[in-house]
Amino acid sequence: MSIESHLVENRIFQPSREFSKAARIGDLAEYRKLYKASIADPEKFWAKQAAKLRWQKDWTKVLQWKCPFAKWFVGGKLNVTENCLDRHLEGARRNKAAIIWEGEPGEKRTLTYHQLHREVCKFANVLKRNNIKKGDRVLIYMPLVPEASIAMLACARIGAVHSVVFGGFSAESIKDRLADCGAQVVITADGGYRRGQMVTLKQNVDRAIEGNAAIRRVIVFKRANLDIHIAEGRDVWWHREMDYVTADCPALGFDSEHPLFILYTSGSTGKPKGILHTTGGYLLGAQFTTKTIFDLREDDVYWCTADVGWITGHTYLVYGPLANGATCLMYEGAPNWPEPDRFWKLIADYGVTILYTAPTAIRAFIKWGDEWPAKHDLSSLRLLGTVGEPINPEAWMWFREKIGGSRCPIVDTWWQTETGAIMITPLPGATPTTPGTATLPFFGIDAAIVDDAGKELPANEGGKLVIRKPWPSMLRSIYGDKQRYKDQYWTEVKDCYFTGDGARRDEHGYFWITGRMDDVLNVAGHRLGTAEVESALVSHEAVAEAAVVGRPDEIKGQGVVAFVTLKTHAVVHADLKEILRKHVGEMIGPIAKPDDIRFADALPKTRSGKIMRRLLKEIAGGGGVTGDTTTLEDLSILAKLSKSDD
Ligand code: WTA
């Protein structure tokens, strides 16, 4: 780990007195007191918070814990959308903006809570009309338009289980996920806009479900006026269906442990994992963290820049803010369209007060130049947040000064698809911050750094980041594979949830996340399994074997480097590298395209045949091989690999 580089980072920023005074948690001592109590008796703590949600039937037991299987708020019944929508219709929030949306080409729409509620109820009736029932899985593949949220919420309203697939993923990815979750219905759009280009969503769906008789319905939202194929008897238009239904759809109560959604994420094997989240605990995590960590106020204009295809979009664009009755900005497109100041223009135009984004975006902004934010009035901002990867101090400082006017606190939030909600984070009115650290665990979260034997390590020693107690928004399983859930998260360290991340705690108890310890890459804040990219490469006819590693990348955090051996009789086109990159793009999605492909006669392996990734990482990073090579079967391979970069 890069301990030295962190140790020189000793700038400390206290929350401003003004911010602290108005904040929910106003000083560190208060945080520490509440945290201590929350860890001493988490069930009591969570029960108190959960009571603030609207339940149709009270729970009888806060937690039933049979490690590693948790049930929270046992026996309780609730409807997520009643909490996110109906509740707000009773008072002043009825006509408050819930979603302010801007399309990439510039269209503007605002949906009040009343309007959003109507749309969700109507679309829930569309789902019912199409014979979708409680427990059925529904795959959603949409551009970032309000209808993406509406589709998710409509599923939740009737107890259907949504699985959102990021609109940037390929037909092949949709196919895998459909097969795994067994969805029979897909909700999509004709297309969407991205950096001035059209994303052909419906066409990708068509390719993914070709010959798949299990898919009985595709509901298509008209976004881009694309000329698309409509399969008679299978495909229907969203707007036509909406004409057949009323807005009357009661919010039935579902069991607290009823599945809410499945979201696929990368692991260390080739097959993405369907992370399963359930109703009560997830909603509590989303609602309570959004309110506390973003210190949400009634008049905030809150903008989380994530797409609904990622967990950040689920928790902090849809469920968390809506459960708090917040006004959320949603922007469909790229940050540099038509110019690199689109974000700053949006902030000025809508008076955004809270901005939650990713370090990779910040690094891109730095590259594009200070003149772009300088052109706009960003004084409405009062709080900034980041998520997705460790933020380098330079980017943190730039964000603070150039965007936050040295006035806004920054919350560097650590969490995962699996955790459902933020786990380690500053509280903006209480926690002194230092660039590069996510600081302290959130209430009720028993995070620790341990060694291989599970023993907690002293300050500044690097180890495994684990969570020692269950928490409400934790994943419940990997969909359809309890054994994999156990193996993946609960066997590495006894009785603890292993995050897959390495970290250390400093003398103040602050967590410094150093990155993944397994074969998972973090490319532009998005998780990619090396094994996934490898299996995509090997599925190409010319490829015999592939090994994929990460290398540091200035903008994306990590770049993808692939070492590839070709089949003896492979026909080698001059542009084979480009062909393979394109192939990976088609199999997974453009984000997975290797930045660099190196052909080799052989890959470095141990005598037992295991690819020595450590060596490949060193080579990919541009440095020489420094580590131990005594277990390498054929030393001459290394020299060749180092040279083969053309
Ligand atoms: C990384 C995203 C350092 C980490 C919500 C984690 C971070 C993985 C941070 C989860 C942060 C996320 N500092 N690293 N603030 N936030 N990570 O599932 O490696 O897409 O395990 O969830 O991103 O990525 P995922």
Query: What are the pLDDT digits (tens) for 24-73?
Result: 999 999 999 999 999 999 999 999 999 999 999 999 999 999 999 999 99
**Measured in angstroms, how far is the CA atom of residue 555 from the centroid of ligand 1?**
16
Higher pLDDT, 455 or 609: 455
- Of all residues in the chain, the percent with pLDDT exceeding 90 is 85
Residue 529 in domain? yes
CA angle, corner 220, sides to 87 and 182, nearest 5?
Answer: 80
Question: Is the pLDDT at 6 greater than 50, yes or no?
Answer: no
Neighbours of 32 (CB within 10 A): 13
Residue 473 in domain? no
- Which residue's alpha carbon is nearest to atom 12 within ligand 1? 388
CA angle, corner 143, sides to 140 and 145, nearest 5?
Answer: 100
For residue 546, give every residue at least 6 positions away whose Cβ sits within 8 Å of its Cβ, in sequence order, or none. 533, 534, 537, 538, 562, 563, 564, 565
Instruction: Determine if ligand 1 sits within 6 Å of the CB of residue 496.
Output: no
Confidence at 633, pLDDT banded by 50, 70, 90: low
Q: Region 451-458: what's the mean pLDDT?
A: 94
Instruction: Determine if ligand 1 sits within 6 Å of the CB of residue 501.
Output: yes
Question: Is the pLDDT at 145 greater than 80, yes or no?
Answer: yes
Helix, strand or coil, per DSSP, at residue 605: strand
Substitution candidate for ligand 1 out of 527, 528, 556 with most atoms within 8 A of CB: 527
Question: What average pLDDT is seen over the chain?
Answer: 94
Residue 16 in domain? no
Question: Is the pLDDT at 596 greater than 60, yes or no?
Answer: yes
Express each pLDDT in 125-144 by its tens digit.
999 999 999 999 999 999 99
Question: Which long-range CB contacts under 8 A does 415-419 form with residues at least 24 apart?
Answer: 415/311, 415/387, 416/311, 416/499, 416/500, 417/263, 417/265, 417/275, 417/310, 417/311, 417/475, 417/527, 418/265, 418/275, 418/474, 418/475, 418/489, 418/499, 419/467, 419/471, 419/473, 419/474, 419/475, 419/499
**Measured in angstroms, how far is the CA atom of residue 313 from the centroid of ligand 1?**
14
Instruction: Determine if ligand 1 sits within 6 Å of the CB of residue 473.
Output: no
Q: Region 438-458: what's the mean pLDDT?
A: 96
Question: Is the pLDDT at 537 greater than 80, yes or no?
Answer: yes
Express each pLDDT in 377-424 by its tens digit.
999 999 999 999 999 999 999 999 999 999 999 999 999 999 999 999
Instruction: Determine if ligand 1 sits within 6 Å of the CB of residue 416.
Output: yes
φ, ψ dihedrals at 354, nearest 5°: -125, 125
**Measured in angstroms, how far is the CA atom of residue 57 from the centroid of ligand 1?**
35
Q: Region 189-206: what's the mean pLDDT?
A: 96
Instruction: Determine if ligand 1 sits within 6 Å of the CB of residue 307.
Output: no
Confidence at 2, pLDDT banded by 50, 70, 90: very low
Question: Is the pLDDT at 224 greater than 70, yes or no?
Answer: yes
Neighbours of 404 (CB within 10 A): 18
For residue 619, give every residue at least 6 positions away whose Cβ sits within 8 Å of its Cβ, in sequence order, or none. 625, 638, 641, 642
CA 211 to chain centre: 31
pLDDT score at 611 = 81
Find the CATH number of the domain harbouring 610. 3.30.300.30
Express each pLDDT in 539-578 by its tens digit.
999 998 899 999 999 999 999 999 999 988 887 888 999 9
Express each pLDDT in 349-364 by its tens digit.
999 999 999 999 999 9
Residue corresponding to tokens 């990867």: 389
Spatial distance between the Cα atoms of 466 and 62, rounded to a whole number of angstroms: 23
Q: Cβ(418)–Cβ(489) under 8 Å?
A: yes
**Measured in angstroms, how far is the CA atom of residue 460 from the centroid of ligand 1?**
20
pLDDT score at 631 = 67
Instruction: Determine if ligand 1 sits within 6 Å of the CB of residue 524.
Output: no
Residue 250 in domain? no
Substitution candidate for ligand 1 out of 6, 169, 312, 501 with most atoms within 8 A of CB: 501
pLDDT score at 169 = 94
**Measured in angstroms, how far is the CA atom of residue 511 from the centroid of ligand 1?**
13
Residue 371 in domain? no
**Measured in angstroms, how far is the CA atom of residue 340 from the centroid of ligand 1?**
26
Q: Region 198-216: what's the mean pLDDT?
A: 96
Residue 535 in domain? yes
Substitution candidate for ligand 1 out of 442, 513, 514 with most atoms within 8 A of CB: 513
pTM exceeding the 0.85 threshold for the entire prediction: yes
Question: Do you find a cis peptide bond into 68, omega within 30 degrees of 0?
Answer: yes
pLDDT score at 3 = 35
Q: Which atom number of ligand 1 is nearest to the Cα of residue 386?
A: 15
Q: What is the DSSP string of 399-468?
A: IIIIITTTTS-EEEEB--TTT-S--B---TTT--B-TT--BSBPTT--EEEE-TTSPBPPTT--EEEEE-
Residue 554 in domain? yes
Spatial distance between the Cα atoms of 577 and 407, rounded to a whole number of angstroms: 47
φ, ψ dihedrals at 181, nearest 5°: -95, -10
Question: Which residue range is the domain that position 566 belongs to?
Answer: 520-642
pLDDT score at 4 = 39
Instruction: Determine if ligand 1 sits within 6 Å of the CB of residue 295.
Output: no
Q: Which atom number of ligand 1 is nearest to the Cα of residue 416?
A: 22
CB-count exposure of residue 640 (10 Å: 0-12, 13-18, 19+): middle
Substitution candidate for ligand 1 out of 415, 516, 521 with most atoms within 8 A of CB: 415
**Bridge partners (DSSP) listed for residue 264:** 274
- Which residue's alpha carbon is nearest to atom 8 within ligand 1? 416
Residue 484 in domain? no
Question: Is the pLDDT at 7 greater than 50, yes or no?
Answer: no
Q: Region 284-300: what's the mean pLDDT?
A: 98
**Measured in angstroms, how far is the CA atom of residue 399 from the centroid of ligand 1?**
19
Instruction: Determine if ligand 1 sits within 6 Å of the CB of residue 306.
Output: no
- Of all residues in the chain, the percent with pLDDT exceeding 70 is 97
Question: Is the pLDDT at 628 greater than 80, yes or no?
Answer: no
Q: In 187-210, which positions are buried (b, 16+ CB within 10 angstroms) versus exposed (e)?
A: bbbbbbbbeeebbbbbbbbbebbe
Question: Which long-range CB contacts under 8 A does 585-589 form with residues at least 24 apart?
Answer: 585/170, 586/170, 586/171, 586/172, 587/170, 587/172, 587/173, 587/536, 587/539, 588/169, 588/170, 588/172, 588/173, 588/528, 588/532, 588/533, 588/536, 589/166, 589/168, 589/169, 589/170, 589/173
Residue 282's alpha-carbon distances to 85, 389, 438, in angstroms, are: 16, 22, 22
**Measured in angstroms, how far is the CA atom of residue 509 from the centroid of ligand 1?**
19
Q: Which atom number of ligand 1 is nearest to the Cα of residue 438?
A: 15
Question: Is the pLDDT at 1 greater than 60, yes or no?
Answer: no
**Measured in angstroms, how far is the CA atom of residue 222 from the centroid of ligand 1?**
34
Question: Which long-range CB contacts under 8 A does 612-620 form with residues at least 24 apart?
Answer: 613/519, 613/530, 613/547, 613/549, 616/547, 616/549, 616/561, 616/563, 616/641, 617/549, 617/550, 617/551, 620/549, 620/550, 620/551, 620/561, 620/563, 620/596
Instruction: Determine if ligand 1 sits within 6 Å of the CB of residue 439.
Output: no
pLDDT score at 271 = 81
pLDDT score at 8 = 55
**Bridge partners (DSSP) listed for residue 301:** 327
User: 242 is written with which tokens?
Assistant: 């909406």
For residue 328, give every residue at least 6 positions away whose Cβ sits within 8 Å of its Cβ, in sequence order, or none. 98, 99, 100, 302, 303, 304, 317, 321, 322
Residue corresponding to tokens 């097959």: 271
How many structural domains are present in the chain?
A: 1
- Which residue's alpha carbon is nearest to atom 10 within ligand 1? 416
- Which residue's alpha carbon is nearest to atom 5 within ligand 1? 416
User: 92 is written with which tokens?
Assistant: 């002043």
